[in-house]
Amino acid sequence: MEESAASQGEKKVVAVVGGGLVGALNACFFAKRGFQVEVFETREDIRKAKVVRGRSINLALSHRGRQALKHVGMEQKIVSKGIPMHARMIHSLSGKQSPIPYGRKGQYILSVDRANLNKELLTEADTYPNTKLNFDHKLQNWSAETGLMTFGRPDGSQTEVQADLIVGCDGAFSAVRKQFLRHSRFNYSQTYIPHGYMELTIPAQNGEFAMKPNYLHIWPRNTFMMIALPNLDKTFTCTLFMPFEEFEKITTGDEVIEFFQKYFPDAIPLIGADALKRDYFRLPAQAMVSVKCSPYHIGDKCVLMGDAAHAVVPFYGQGMNAGFEDCIVFDEIMNQFNEDFSAVLPEYTRVRVPDDHAIADLAMYNYVEMRAHVNSKWFIFRKRVDNLLHFLMPKTIIPLYTMVTFTRTRYHVAVERWHWQDRVINRGLLLGAVGVVFGGSYLLIKNPPNINKLVVPAEKIWNKLAALITP
């Protein structure tokens, strides 16, 4: 009946390249299915390393990511170490803070520590007897024909490993993806945005959070933007976004203070003037890239997931969440097609590409939008309008961020719905305007105003004005 090697107990070998967030989670998904899982990661074991250099320090975890963690029994473990953020806190230039809720009480996102999340996922993957974690293994080359991979080791040696399926979870600069570029009919685009980001820390004050902890703090200033997420040690990690050009203009400690005085004055005492002068120059600003490609697979041998398949700019807080959702989608298709890679891989590409492309576009759209005209007033106004319309028509109008953040509505469907809602709103506004014109005309015809009543006050006003200007 089942012709797969699975039933004979000799499950296929799945090589997960990259032991970052998506790779470590994916290892759990494949291990749970009983595959022989091998994870290959360039870095040393971050659970043993003293200094972990990574991208952002903390991340916003939302519904899609949580659902994926739930699939491997990790949701509670991670959520318990996350800090709920029920609302944004908008900081205006004057220092005024305005909270804007994400939704109802149960609708919140979590600030989670990236390093801890990665460690917990690796530890979980490690608990499966059919999983082996290989650190200090950097993929150098692989063959789509044979599934043979070559890894470089820190001592300069190389090792070769064969797998039935190669899962590329090696991030935005994926070495696995490099081979795809040689194949015909592979679409690829990457865009670096002009902005860079820099992380700064708001330390705890007298052992307490220096700002309200259960918020995503945002300082929207058009071209310049800062956001801060809380950490378990009562610090906040601020991420400053601005054009590289602007980063480069600031070359001295005093210029840093001057800049902050102008755009983020309330943040100076929070970060501390001396720390700010020092930390600004600690690391150069980091680049952000958007990568889109398709297909995500080659034959029945290789598939890309997470940032390797779709690096998105961080302006929707969805990069990791989308990568985690990739794992669920793949898992569901594995059920549907009985783990037959030759059927699963094309189906995964067919189903997932439109959604990943949609979130990449949305994140880029939001970047352009925020940069162009989002100051604190506009941000507050737009979110209030969204929330009001949702309150008036809860079934018809659902804010885009709600669909993206708090549901598993397919990203491309969320975008379609958003456009549809826009048409409904515009039609509503048009209908309202037409109603006012026709209704007003009808009322005027039915109850023609007494000309004398209208003219007399006008005359009175004119007389008064005339009295004023004549000496």
Please tell me whether residue 70 binds ligand FAD under the rule CB under 6 A: no
CB of 208 vs ligand EGU, minimal distance in Å: 22
Please tell me whether residue 229 binds ligand EGU under the rule CB under 6 A: yes
Taking residues 78 to 97 in sequence order and writing x for each that binds ligand EGU by CB under 6 A, - otherwise, the string is ----------x---------
Q: Which does 169 bind (CB under 5 to 8 A by kind): ligand EGU, ligand FAD, none?
A: ligand FAD
Q: Which does 23 bind (CB under 5 to 8 A by kind): ligand EGU, ligand FAD, none?
A: ligand FAD
Measure the CA–CA gap between 441 and 427, rounded to whole angstroms.
21
Nearer CB in complex with ligand EGU: 31/228: 228
Question: Positive or negative, the Cα torsion across 109, 398, 358, 165?
Answer: positive
Q: What radius of gyration do the chain's Cα atoms show?
A: 28
Query: Which residue stretch of 58-66, 75-83, 177-185, 386-394 sits at the interface with ligand EGU (rule: CB under 6 A)?
Result: 58-66
Please tell me whether residue 133 binds ligand FAD under the rule CB under 6 A: no
Please tell me whether residue 28 binds ligand FAD under the rule CB under 6 A: no
Among 216, 267, 276, 415, binds ligand EGU (CB under 6 A): 216
Beta bridge partners, 293, equal 188
Which residues in 281-340 contact ligand FAD (CB under 6 A)? 288, 306-308, 314, 317-321, 323
Token readout for 317 is 């807080």
Nearer CB in complex with ligand EGU: 165/313: 313
CB of 227 vs ligand EGU, minimal distance in Å: 5
**What is the number of the residue whose Cβ is closest to ligand FAD?**
20
Query: Which residue stretch of 40-48, 336-344, 391-399, 433-441 sits at the interface with ligand FAD (rule: CB under 6 A)?
Result: 40-48
Nearer CB in complex with ligand EGU: 108/348: 108
Nearer CB in complex with ligand FAD: 296/397: 296
Q: Which does 295 bind (CB under 5 to 8 A by kind): ligand FAD, ligand EGU, none?
A: none
CB of 423 vs ligand FAD, minimal distance in Å: 30
Phi, psi of 167 (to 5 degrees): -110, 110
Q: Which does 55 bind (CB under 5 to 8 A by kind): ligand FAD, ligand EGU, none?
A: ligand FAD
CB of 314 vs ligand EGU, minimal distance in Å: 4
The burial class, CB within 10 Å (0-12 / 13-18 / 19+), for 332 is middle
Q: Which does 111 bind (CB under 5 to 8 A by kind): ligand FAD, ligand EGU, none?
A: none
Among 22, 83, 87, 89, binds ligand FAD (CB under 6 A): 22
Please tell me whether residue 69 binds ligand FAD under the rule CB under 6 A: no
Measure the CA–CA gap between 436 and 461, rounded to whole angstroms.
28
Q: Which does 316 bind (CB under 5 to 8 A by kind): ligand EGU, ligand FAD, none?
A: ligand EGU
CB of 199 vs ligand FAD, minimal distance in Å: 8
CB of 188 vs ligand EGU, minimal distance in Å: 25
User: What is the three-state SS of the chain?
Assistant: CCCCHHHHCCCCEEEEECCCHHHHHHHHHHHHCCCEEEEECCCCCCCCCCCCCCCCCEEEECHHHHHHHHHCCCHHHHHCCCEEECEEEEECCCCCEEEEECCCCCCCEEEEEHHHHHHHHHHHHHHCCCEEEECCCEEEEECCCCCEEEEECCCCCEEEEECCEEEECCCCCCHHHHHHCCCCCCEEEEEEEEEEEEEEEECCECCECCCCCCEEEEEEECCEEEEEEECCCCCEEEEEEEEHHHHHHCCCHHHHHHHHHHHCCCHHHHHCHHHHHHHCCCCCCEEEEEEEEECCEECCCEEECHHHCCCCCCCCCCHHHHHHHHHHHHHHHHHHCCCCHHHHHHHHHHHHHHHHHHHHHHHHHHHHHHHHHCEHHHHHHHHHHHHHHHHHCCCCCCCHHHHHHHCCCCHHHHHHHHHHHHHHHHHHHHHHHHHHHHHHHHHHHHCCCCHHHHHHHHHHHHHHHHHHHCC
Among 34, 52, 56, 337, binds ligand EGU (CB under 6 A): 56
Please tell me whether residue 19 binds ligand FAD under the rule CB under 6 A: yes
Q: Which does 40 bind (CB under 5 to 8 A by kind): ligand FAD, ligand EGU, none?
A: ligand FAD
C-alpha pair distances (Å), 269 with each of 22, 96, 201, 209, 266: 37, 15, 12, 13, 7
Measure the CA–CA gap between 167 and 140, rounded to whole angstroms.
15
Please tell me whether residue 40 binds ligand FAD under the rule CB under 6 A: yes
Please tell me whether residue 33 binds ligand FAD under the rule CB under 6 A: no
Please tell me whether residue 81 binds ligand FAD under the rule CB under 6 A: no
What are the residues binding ligand EGU (CB under 6 A)? 56, 58-60, 88, 109, 216, 218, 227, 229, 239, 314-317, 366, 370, 401, 404-405
Interaction site with ligand FAD (CB under 6 A):
17-23, 40-43, 55-56, 59-60, 138-139, 169-171, 175, 197, 239, 288, 306-308, 314, 317-321, 323
